[in-house]
Structure 1
């Protein structure tokens, strides 16, 4: 009935209609309640007991409140179960995205606020009489309900995903010589994160070296557990991969919700490559990256990742503030963007010759912009844009850079120059390859491309080339990735999946 996770819901925000927002504020004052969330919960509960929702159009012009105010980690699954059950019984359909869930909350809140206000008026705004109505309704509810085949809680994530293997994990840790206790677990889209307390911190190295044996003890097949940091002393995060049948794969609707989760700004280049291991949206500003290297083995999601990054930029900008220089040596990856108003020089640079010409043109554009910046008395494109207009960001996506360098070694020095100097001119690079090796990705390129995304690779040496450290060889494939940004810890994410049809629809 829903593939949403608790983490997705708890990181979201909710609002009702302008009409219900006004009633909510009035009820807050009349009932002496401290927050709108208190009234919202009463309103949603009141609506759930009132049968099928009407087909009325409900606006979303009320003020937002965070999910952490409306729900708690303890009761959120109960609320989702109630809402999902109501939708199932009354033909409301399933919650296949955060948008559909937010809409259900908004409509129930809208209807319930009016019903509560009617109740309040019916008792002439007598507080004790109003509370008596609420208590009577509660006492009239049955203590149990007949099983109608509707699963209220288990539909949050597949049953296997909610299976707590804490006891098995403690035993497996003991088998490799590590004494530990499990202090909690969060089930994410693909892995379950266990909070592990080490009884002896001196056993941390033993745990690091024993991850392969731990995988064997937990029967993880060819999947590897990974270690992360925790927010408590002597504890760490242990991410245990789950079978693929339990994965919750985020798609177009989830990406659209992520894109709407923060305000749009034409002064940033916010991109949303995927969801974190506990379901939160992962995003960063490419303008501060300031350049990005994306690498991974064939079929592990590199091309999809590139499309997600491009769509992220297009949906948050206009052609006046963003231009895309798409360089496609193999002539197959960026054809979907042909004719787009966002294209720099109105073309996708396909083939080696056009790729070389496009890179030469970027260098010329960079030099030209620096002349203009000097004339305007500013040192970056944002100040130039405010002073004189124009100066859109240019983001160059270069696919299969390794193949391009092999065929034309002259492009390497030009890319290095762009990486060293193009940031202040508002030009940013996203380089991609399926063949990460030291011959084609020199230390000079890597040292000037500080941000990296590594998808699954075959060997630890390939992970070392992309990330400057190992780890990508143990990823789960299908968009599983490690993200490295300057000055920040390595972050794991599960990429959004977009088909070419989704890309066409979104652009």
Structure 2
């Protein structure tokens, strides 16, 4: 027993040993826990093995925090993310972010998890910016809008080199001496010198009749040794009589000095045109809308064509193609030819007389169409209609002004006087409110060309040099145009005025016209509504279509023979019309050719003619 107890005691440890062993085990367990916990807390060796090749030896926090702290511009962020130029691929950021364990870093990571959304927004903003840039490029690539020609295309006005003060004093003394010699109480009170004419303002003494001064016209011309003089008695708005004497040397008036004047530049009307300088040297500018139609007449070489060129050039400098359209009728074929292919034209320059008549009829139809649009829109004129359309109150497009220019009316009146006069009168009577204006020029101001009906409907008139006082009265209803000097010297009778104004017209050279037209042609291409060939074909078709043609064919088929005299007697028409009907039947194969005095044979039967009628219908 003692041995067994001793063995048992030997095998069982003592209490102190148990305590020691227990503490040792606890220490070992703690060490084991430490061994287990340490890799969870630190994990740096493992992460370094995984992360180091991806982050390229950069701390994790630096990679994540840098884009948040620096607040780089959007374009920089886009450059970093989209093209992946910098040494930070998207995969590196995604791999690094979930491996951060500290709490503040986790918050940053939570914000970075939402970064794809913000990057998308950045991409959308960048896309919008790129779209705007593309839009700007597209605008720059589109054809430029119409730009007004520059005044540098026109000639520079010449400066007055001579001083005419001495000459003016001599003329003034000669006038006073002439009045004294003829015992007329009058004296010169003022002198106004223009580019070609000088006006001496003479004030008669109390009790002196105006006729005493006007009757001295030839004596004053003799005393001053002048080419011709014109007396205006009295000057409108002044208590004086004007005696107009040609200058010693005339100075040309250039278009450039009129177009740069405030009177022209400040005018808002697209139909503002330059005419010239008056006797006082002031620019004369008029608005075609207020004309509203104009008559230009004068002898050959007096300046009519130059005046028309000045008006057309002024329109090119003032109006855009969508604002004003031009219809040019030039029977001379050469005066208005430079304006071909201008974007303002409704049609190419019309040179054929028959086509010109058809063009005037087209203008009448356009006038009627516009008035129907005005009635539907409740507008009274073109300006109000365009305002309604621009405000989108009614559907439609704005209508441009149409200016019809006829360079030689005499040729049209010789070919078709009835049709031309009717069309001109209808346009002159009604077309003002619908924006269609007419400018007519002629070198033969006789009554058979400028009829009373035409003249009564055209209130604005410009008279150049004419051969007789009768022609002057035909144009402006008073004499005076026979005393003009020529080369642009004109009398301008505006709408609503009783007396004309003497104006030295502007001079436009062929070189200036060519430069201006070339500039305008480069801006836009013309958009013609019709061509001269279309008008001629339409006219020929209208002439060939006779309302009696079918009835005449029916008569010929029933008779079994055809002759001009039989058709003439049957339908009671003239020989010319009957002959045209017979020729038309021959051209269509209904009857045979002429056989001398015998009637023509009919080549079709009644059934064939009935079938032909059904086909035509």
- TM-score by length of structure 1 reads 0.66
| Per-residue deviation, residues 429-448 of structure 1 (Å, max 9, x unmatched) | 00000001011211000000
Out of 509, 512, 522, the residue aligned to residue 502 of structure 1 is 512
Residues 255 and 310 in structure 2, CA contact (< 8 A), matched pair in contact too: no
Indicate how the Cα distance of structure 1 residues 314 and 255 shifts in structure 2: closer, same or farther if over 3 A, else same.
Answer: same
Q: Which residue of 2 aligns with 1:327?
A: 329
Distance 2:464 2:429 in 1: 25
Quote the offset at 1:173 in angstroms.
2.5
Indicate how the Cα distance of structure 1 residues 177 and 312 shifts in structure 2: closer, same or farther if over 3 A, else same.
Answer: farther
Q: Which residue of 2 aligns with 1:393?
A: 401
Q: Which residue of 1 aligns with 2:274?
A: 272
Q: Which residue of 1 aligns with 2:458?
A: 449
> Are residues 1:227 and 2:232 paired?
yes
Quote the offset at 1:253 in angstroms.
2.6
Write the mapping of 1:118-133 to structure 2, written as runs, cut at 5 A: none
Q: Which residue of 2 aligns with 1:359?
A: 360
Secondary structure of the corresponding residue to residue 430 of structure 1: strand
Higher-Rg structure is: 2
Residues 268 and 287 in structure 1, CA contact (< 8 A), matched pair in contact too: no
Indicate how the Cα distance of structure 1 residues 445 and 158 shifts in structure 2: closer, same or farther if over 3 A, else same.
Answer: same
Secondary structure of the corresponding residue to residue 265 of structure 2: coil
Indicate how the Cα distance of structure 1 residues 161 and 373 shifts in structure 2: closer, same or farther if over 3 A, else same.
Answer: farther
Quote the offset at 1:155 in angstroms.
3.3
Out of 339, 342, 347, the residue aligned to residue 341 of structure 2 is 339
Secondary structure of the corresponding residue to residue 512 of structure 2: helix
Q: CA RMSD in A?
A: 2.2
Indicate how the Cα distance of structure 1 residues 404 and 160 shifts in structure 2: closer, same or farther if over 3 A, else same.
Answer: farther
Distance 1:416 1:368 in 2: 17
Distance 2:476 2:238 in 1: 28
Unaligned runs of 5+ residues in structure 2 are 1-154, 390-396, 518-617
Indicate how the Cα distance of structure 1 residues 402 and 330 shifts in structure 2: closer, same or farther if over 3 A, else same.
Answer: same
Distance 1:177 1:198 in 2: 12
Residues 235 and 241 in structure 2, CA contact (< 8 A), matched pair in contact too: yes
Write the mapping of 1:100-179 to structure 2, written as runs, cut at 5 A: 155=161, 157=163, 162-179=168-185
Indicate how the Cα distance of structure 1 residues 233 and 380 shifts in structure 2: closer, same or farther if over 3 A, else same.
Answer: closer
Distance 1:160 1:449 in 2: 44
Q: Which residue of 2 aligns with 1:212?
A: 218
| Per-residue deviation, residues 211-242 of structure 1 (Å, max 9, x unmatched) | 12211121113x12322545887423322222
| Per-residue deviation, residues 285-325 of structure 1 (Å, max 9, x unmatched) | 11111100000000010000011111112211100110011
Out of 291, 308, 311, the residue aligned to residue 309 of structure 1 is 311
Distance 1:495 1:470 in 2: 19
Distance 1:328 1:235 in 2: 43
Distance 2:506 2:166 in 1: 22
Residues 177 and 206 in structure 1, CA contact (< 8 A), matched pair in contact too: no
Distance 2:257 2:294 in 1: 23
Distance 2:334 2:192 in 1: 40
Distance 1:255 1:503 in 2: 16
Q: Which residue of 2 aligns with 1:20?
A: none
Q: Which residue of 2 aligns with 1:381?
A: 382
Out of 255, 261, 266, the residue aligned to residue 263 of structure 1 is 266
Distance 2:255 2:454 in 1: 33
> Are residues 1:192 and 2:195 paired?
no
Residues 193 and 237 in structure 1, CA contact (< 8 A), matched pair in contact too: yes
Quote the offset at 1:161 in angstroms.
5.7
Distance 1:258 1:308 in 2: 15
Quote the offset at 1:493 in angstroms.
0.1
Residues 324 and 394 in structure 1, CA contact (< 8 A), matched pair in contact too: yes
Write the mapping of 1:394-413 to structure 2, written as runs, cut at 5 A: 394-409=402-417, 410-413=419-422
Write the mapping of 1:90-109 to structure 2, written as runs, cut at 5 A: 97=157
Indicate how the Cα distance of structure 1 residues 358 and 177 shifts in structure 2: closer, same or farther if over 3 A, else same.
Answer: farther
Distance 2:441 2:235 in 1: 32
Indicate how the Cα distance of structure 1 residues 476 and 176 shifts in structure 2: closer, same or farther if over 3 A, else same.
Answer: farther
Quote the offset at 1:452 in angstroms.
0.1
Distance 2:422 2:176 in 1: 53
Distance 1:179 1:159 in 2: 25
Distance 1:269 1:155 in 2: 34
Unaligned runs of 5+ residues in structure 1 are 1-94, 102-153
Secondary structure of the corresponding residue to residue 287 of structure 1: coil
Indicate how the Cα distance of structure 1 residues 312 and 374 shifts in structure 2: closer, same or farther if over 3 A, else same.
Answer: same
Indicate how the Cα distance of structure 1 residues 233 and 247 shifts in structure 2: closer, same or farther if over 3 A, else same.
Answer: closer
> Are residues 1:182 and 2:185 paired?
no
Quote the offset at 1:157 in angstroms.
4.7
Quote the offset at 1:189 in angstroms.
0.9
Quote the offset at 1:206 in angstroms.
1.6
Quote the offset at 1:174 in angstroms.
2.9
Residues 325 and 344 in structure 2, CA contact (< 8 A), matched pair in contact too: yes
Residues 201 and 240 in structure 2, CA contact (< 8 A), matched pair in contact too: yes
Quote the offset at 1:268 in angstroms.
5.0
Out of 318, 321, 328, the residue aligned to residue 320 of structure 2 is 318
